[in-house]
Chain A
């Protein structure tokens, strides 16, 4: 099942509004937005420009921090990590398209700490689905989904961004 462009856009706007409120409430004026490759980086770039911050969002390729290297190896064709600014003493907004088991977020947080010591890390996701395997939850969520085990949700993009629910074999 595919979401429409408008349905996906509505979720993006929802997380944008929640993030604005969150930043105001926590008095964060200069956050560093970091997206997880590939879908998370698209959402992060979108948030970066919609919230009026200059340039592209930072992005993480968590391939080298995954916990399943000895099972699946490493994919050579992933964009390198781009962390153009220092994250020391900064508030980090970590963005991913889908939160599922929590393993990607765990890897992303590990990688972030190899670049410095941030003041805080806030997790923003477009979709949070059932199937959590680690004690990790998102602070800002576009939509929570209950899916059967054989289903996956993924983001197509970068322009336009469209969510899709597919069978795992695909």
Chain B
């Protein structure tokens, strides 16, 4: 997939190549977190805070995006992300379409572009894209007409920026100062687009201690350059952490050579009640879902007092409302 012809944007006097942003204040598309300025990330979190109240109203809806048409364009299966985007769009009063594209039928680039042309002809205003290829959302953003915004709902191993935003929103509910916390991301770092987006978000928010924990086969070489510290020993890695984010073991993206077996993986990297005791006293446990109980996390921890897994889901709606409305504004 060709993703050249980036727009050049001058940000803080530094040339960057990305079409995420039109200015310091406004989003045009939401493709990746990597190049977002800290101020814009904080704006999204603040706006999401205001939207969180909407879910508590008797009428769970605000008229902000009335008359806009938003399309969920999913080339890959998803439940949580798809439905929370749908609820977010509906709570903003947008009209909403769910299109699950049969990936096998769109293997050729022309077919994907044809799909896009057809949706454009229906006068849609925004596409929320999930695709198994890295760079797909950006490719689409360069091949649609100017008035359409693209939101990346996960592309291959590259990025899942709205998940990372809802994760940091959830973290901020417990720890108001990002500069004082230790955060560990545990599991399949290599295949995880969530981990990649999270590392960027935490770095931009100046979290001083970001750790990634997993077997050597699932830790990319040279990951230290992303400003994180790799650990192979889980007990050592999660010690005194305020936030531990467990990742799902992505069986569909790997063959058996990456880990010995699931039982062994659980012994080495499964989050058990014993390991939970190693966290800081106020430590919380997160997971982007879907949870593989007994493989990366035990039920006692997933359902326990320190688990904020279901809050992540609720927060996902408010955060996505903020991202949709900021990307849609003039």
Contacts and interface: CB of A to CB of B under 8 A. Distances in A.
B49 A80 contact: yes
Contact of A114 (B51, B58, B322, B325): B58
Nearest to B330: A73
Nearest to B52: A80
A74 B326 contact: yes
A22 interface: no
Contacts of B310: none
Contacts of B64: 64-65, 69, 74
Chain B contact surface mostly: helix
A77 B46 CA distance: 7
Contact of A71 (B47, B53, B330): B330
Contacts of B44: 76
Interface in B278-330: 322, 325-326, 329-330
B58 A116 contact: yes
Nearest to B53: A80
B62 A76 contact: no
B37 to A, nearest CB: 13
B222 interface: no
A63 B330 CA distance: 15
A33 B249 CA distance: 53
Given A73-B330, A74-B326, A114 B59 contact: yes
A73 B63 CA distance: 13
A70 B330 contact: yes
B47 A76 contact: yes
14 contacts: A64-B63, A65-B64, A69-B64, A70-B330, A72-B329, A74-B329, A76-B50, A80-B49, A80-B52, A80-B53, A81-B53, A114-B61, A114-B62, A115-B59
Given A76-B46, A114-B57, 6 more contacts: A65-B62, A65-B64, A70-B330, A72-B329, A74-B64, A74-B329
